[in-house]
Structure 1
Amino acid sequence: MRRIRLLAMIMAGSLAVGGGVAAARSSLPATGSGGGSTASAPSYLKDDAGRSLILRGFNTASSAKGAPDGMPKFTEADLEREHADMGTNFVRFLISWRSVEPAPGQYDQAYLDRVEDRVSWYAERGYKVMLDMHQDVYSGAITPEGNAGNGAGNIGNGAPEWATYTDGLPVGKQDRWELLYLEPGVTRAFDNFWNTTGKHPELMEHYANTWRAVAERFAANDAVVAYDLMNEPWGGSMQGSAFESGPLASLYQRTTDAIRQVDQDSWVCVAPQAVGVNQGIPSGLTKIDDPRAGEQRIAYCPHLYPLPLDIGDGYSGVSRTLTDATIAAWRASVEHIAGTVLGGAPIIVGEFGLDTTLPGARDYLDRVYGTARELGAGVSYWSSDPGPWGPYLPDGTRTLLVGTLNKPYPRAVAGTPTDWSSAVDRLQLTLHPDPAVTAPTEIYLPKSGFPGDVKVEGADVVDWNRQSRLLTVRTATGASSATVTVTPAA
């Protein structure tokens, strides 16, 4: 119940944190009923061939947060099982500031070697990778003994010890790890990072240069398509629009500029303040300018955690009604920031998830993936860790997540998707073909619905690989629009 009160106060824009006062929240333009908006058509990340990417995958993984070597407990065999069972093509791979820059200005190339090794697993299977600079409660260096864990066996993670300044303020015990954000020592550590104290202007510069070191390593790696600049930002004593349009936007701009010194092509992903915005409150994030030559490559990567589900309720009854209202409000905010503020940025849902044993879990998954499809958004589910939130239990048993995800979808489209839908044994895709794209459209088809040959209408089959479950098709040259329908052959 304390967390409910916390979030309610944040939503009201009146939360006092560590002696500071939360700022007022932002506003959105008028939208239609049910959360519909006047946003423009979806934008998509593109691959090297110019195809629009539809990304489906997992966060991998929370087990990396407290690991001494910074690596998740996730093997190549685990990836092969995921790929075979669900046909995923995307991963949000967790990295950390503490691991990249263990001492000021010193970048751990051995750690980046380990990251690169894991990236190669994904590259060999045709995945795209988004590297996520992850943090929770700022840093493990300020976590006292005796606190409740966050599901990964640790509390704080992210920043190195040398970049952690609590100024001697305490961090007390909390029953829920999220409430540690309100502890005075945690608040002060964030305030020093954002330099709202005026004491540590060097910390954000170190952070931006850390991203520069990462980008320099992965700029030529075709599998790495995006950099997620900070997981779930928290403003310390500054909250709401004042934080998002101030220190957060400043960090994003500085980091984007640093990345572009060494990498002109990868997408830069920016996320809003987490608390409140994850629950549907409008974001006050402002525009980030991409200094690269050509079109902007800034993507918007919000998270979605409706409060009823986040505190353990199922997707039914009153909880379902409240959750649906949250999704509608969240969608309106996402469309506004991506479409209006960021000028038509692609969207990636960086995190969403729930305990799959809860009532209505399958309906909720379908609802969120359906919303993402309408937004043209990629999705990285939280997370691939074993347990009821993930695709497999610790003993290897599949959760309902596997069957929910294992459906046909277009992975790479030679043009712009305008609509697509799928069932276990049917996929229909409408697109505007791009004559400049010579590579074919690529579609994943699960074995359960397409055990043998397939029937394709509206396109010519280039290849159907039953082992990889990938169908490639080519639409008619010069067509302004095409609809491709795939069903099992009779």
Structure 2
Amino acid sequence: MQQPHVRATATRRVAATLTALVALVGALLVPAVPAAAADDPSGGNTPARHRPASGGERWGTGTYLNGFSYLRGVNVYSLVFGGDRPAGQVGESQAGWDYLASRGVKVARLPVSWVRLQPVPASGDLRAGLDAPVSQAYLDVVEEQVRRAARAGIRTVVGLHNACSYPNITAKGSLTCGAGVTRADVAKVWGAVATRFAADERVIAFDLLNETRLDGVPVARYKLFTQAAADAVRGAGAEQTLWVQRMLGERGRLDIMAPDGPWVSDPLGKVMYSQHFYPSPIGSTFDPLAGNHAVLMDVDRFGTWCRKWKVRCVAGEVGWPSGGPGGVQSAASARGWNLVFEQFYRLADQYGLDVTYFAASSSQTTGTLLAYVASRPGYPSPSGLDTALSQAEVIERHPSRRAP
């Protein structure tokens, strides 16, 4: 026979579980309401005074949205996965980009490693690496991916995937913004990237600093460094839209770190704010009692902040585990995750958020979050991107939406 305190504990546990279930199910039943056409942050000029670097005609209207209310696509992560491999072994083939286009992808976020743009010298001297010129040869590699994407009909967002650190936040002894990395260092690398793509309408935006950690960079310092990056882009003559990310951690939410609203000053007024969304923990198997509605609450807070401050926003990364044939989890787990993130995309539709799923790559075996992969992965892949996993069902149900 159970003791009273045991029964009380069990009762509270059941009540908490039911509360979580009601919240999740209730959220999943919210009908999708298409967002109204949002303002184009490019102001009709991205860039209006130039032709693409290819010398071809303007890309549509030349604006960020190009006739859409919101944009949907994927992160193509192959340049980062490729590490320091030779240029010919990284990135996606033309066939891979064509495959993504056939699945409805209109925009691709293209993360680029800072350490590939400025390699660490053999001596290991990080300061010497930052003082070295930015590699034009590696920018050639990046531009080739931009060219292939554009040939398939996909525009790109080039992002510095660095966590405000050099060479990498996970590497022992890495320098961070304000602690070894200066604003001049950030301005230097972004000035070089922006100079390369300043007149290139195939690139519609620059994502300035990726997933900066609060435990290493205070909020005030992070704001100074994002402003330095923005100033460098404009100083190079680039007119593309700027993506500015929140910081990692609960206190890094925009409504907490920026209660007074957007902080980046831009003479062109073309700044968007970005947030990343994942289950917690990222690789967990779906459990209907595990409070999976938290990610939905997070996107609702994000969308509310964006509406309050009348700024356009983007879910720069969203990802969840694959399952079933070719996936990393069971088909049942995949169905559970798809239910949750179907509602995520519905909320993104309602708020008019742009979304780029994380991720697509043909370079390695199926990772936890990859939605588009290769039947024969490698560096380079013999097959290229040619396989859609379980997440594609949700992603492709919510494509870029044409403005009315």
TM-score of the alignment, normalized to the shorter chain, above 0.5: yes
In structure 2, the partner of 1:424 is none
In structure 2, the partner of 1:82 is 100
Alpha-carbon displacement from aligned partner over 1:152-198 (angstroms, at most 9, x marks no partner): xxx54xxxxxxxxxxxxxx5xxxxxxxxxxxxx55xx33xx324xxx
Alpha-carbon separation, structure 2, partners of 1:301 and 1:328: 16
Instruction: Give the C-alpha shift of residue 367 in structure 1.
Output: 1.6
- Stretches of structure 1 that go unaligned for 5 or more consecutive residues are 1-32, 143-154, 157-170, 172-184, 414-430, 432-490
- Listed as ranges, the matches of 1:149-228 within 5 Å are 156=171, 171=172, 185=173, 189-190=175-176, 193-195=177-179, 200=180, 203-228=182-207
Is 2:77 the counterpart of 1:61?
yes
Structure-2 change in CA distance of 1:48 and 1:256 (3 Å): same
Q: Which amino acid aligns with 2:272?
A: A
Question: Is the contact between residue 113 and residue 162 of structure 2 (CA under 8 Å) also seen in structure 1?
Answer: yes
In structure 1, the partner of 2:280 is 307
Structure-2 change in CA distance of 1:234 and 1:62 (3 Å): farther
Q: Which amino acid aligns with 1:194?
A: G
In structure 1, the partner of 2:235 is 261
Alpha-carbon separation, structure 1, partners of 2:162 and 2:198: 23
Instruction: Give the C-alpha shift of residue 126 in structure 1.
Output: 2.4
Question: Is the contact between residue 129 and residue 225 of structure 1 (CA under 8 Å) also seen in structure 2?
Answer: yes
Alpha-carbon displacement from aligned partner over 1:386-438 (angstroms, at most 9, x marks no partner): 5152234553553123333334745442xxxxxxxxxxxxxxxxx4xxxxxxx
Q: How many residues in Structure 1 have an aligned counterpart in Structure 2?
A: 314
Q: Which amino acid aligns with 2:280?
A: L
- Listed as ranges, the matches of 1:381-420 within 5 Å are 381-385=357-361, 387=366, 389-392=369-372, 394-395=374-375, 397-407=387-397, 409-413=399-403
In structure 2, the partner of 1:252 is 226
SS in 2 for 1:345: coil
Is 2:70 the counterpart of 1:96?
no
Structure-2 change in CA distance of 1:289 and 1:382 (3 Å): closer
Q: Which amino acid aligns with 1:251?
A: F
Alpha-carbon displacement from aligned partner over 1:261-316 (angstroms, at most 9, x marks no partner): 123521111101123368x78440353343324xx1110111012325x14131x4
Residue 131 of structure 1, aligned match among 148, 154, 158 = 158
Is 2:146 the counterpart of 1:119?
yes
Instruction: Give the C-alpha shift of residue 217 in structure 1.
Output: 0.9
Q: TM-score, normalised by structure 1?
A: 0.57
Q: Which amino acid aligns with 1:390?
A: L
Question: Is the contact between residue 157 and residue 205 of structure 2 (CA under 8 Å) also seen in structure 1?
Answer: yes
Identity across the alignment (%):
20
In structure 2, the partner of 1:379 is 355
SS in 1 for 2:275: coil
In structure 2, the partner of 1:274 is 248
Q: TM-score, normalised by structure 2?
A: 0.69
Residue 351 of structure 1, aligned match among 309, 317, 322 = 317
Structure-2 change in CA distance of 1:120 and 1:328 (3 Å): same
SS in 2 for 1:317: coil
Alpha-carbon displacement from aligned partner over 1:104-143 (angstroms, at most 9, x marks no partner): 151211111111111011112222211110026945578x
Structure-2 change in CA distance of 1:222 and 1:137 (3 Å): closer
Structure (1 or 2) with the greater helix fraction:
2
- Stretches of structure 2 that go unaligned for 5 or more consecutive residues are 1-25, 43-60, 120-128, 324-328, 376-385
Alpha-carbon separation, structure 2, partners of 1:108 and 1:334: 38
In structure 2, the partner of 1:369 is 345
Alpha-carbon separation, structure 2, partners of 1:307 and 1:223: 35
Alpha-carbon separation, structure 2, partners of 1:125 and 1:235: 38
By relative contact order (CA 8 Å, sep 6+), the higher-ranking structure is 2
Structure-2 change in CA distance of 1:78 and 1:392 (3 Å): same
Is 2:146 the counterpart of 1:107?
no
